[in-house]
Amino acid sequence: EVQLVQSGAEVKKPGESLRISCKASGYNFTNFWIAWVRQMPGKGLEWMGIIYPGDSDTRYSPSFQGQVGISADKSISTAYLQWGSLKASDTARYYCARLEYCGGDCYFPAFYFDYWGQGTLVTVSS
């Protein structure tokens, strides 16, 4: 059974750093792209970026480029989303989502997110 299990809720202060995780199981982690999606309180979904764990090829949404970092550790089938300096506006629930199989050289428009993590709530407040 495919599962994406995310790390628990975090409460941080502005300026602090943070890394949240998404542990995959039930499939070959290295062969599927993993994306991160933000959902701010009461708002819609926003795609942040995506990584191919097989070779760490990473793409970012222009809105999030330079604001967050996405990485993956193949040895423990885990993807990460990290911030160097959090802002109050980073308060949101963050989801990881697996892109259905398309290989490393993927034509992204044709594919969809077939499995999602349960989400990690990040609260940034002084």
Tell me how far, at minimum, the Cβ of 104 lies from another protein, in Å: 17
3-state helix, strand, coil in the chain (%, to 5): 10, 50, 40
Q: Pick between residue 27 and residue 116 the one whose CB is nearest to another protein.
A: 116
Return the residue of 20, 22, 24, 35 that touches another protein, per CB under 8 A.
Answer: 35
Q: Pick between residue 101 and residue 108 the one whose CB is nearest to another protein.
A: 108
Beta strands 18-25 and 78-83 are: antiparallel
Quick note: the x/- pattern for another protein over 37-76, rule CB under 8 A, is x-----xxxxx-----------x-xx--------------
Interacting residues with another protein between 102 and 121 (CB under 8 A): 108-110, 112-114, 116-119
Q: How many residues does the chain have?
A: 126
Burial of 123 (0-12, 13-18, 19+ CB in 10 A): middle
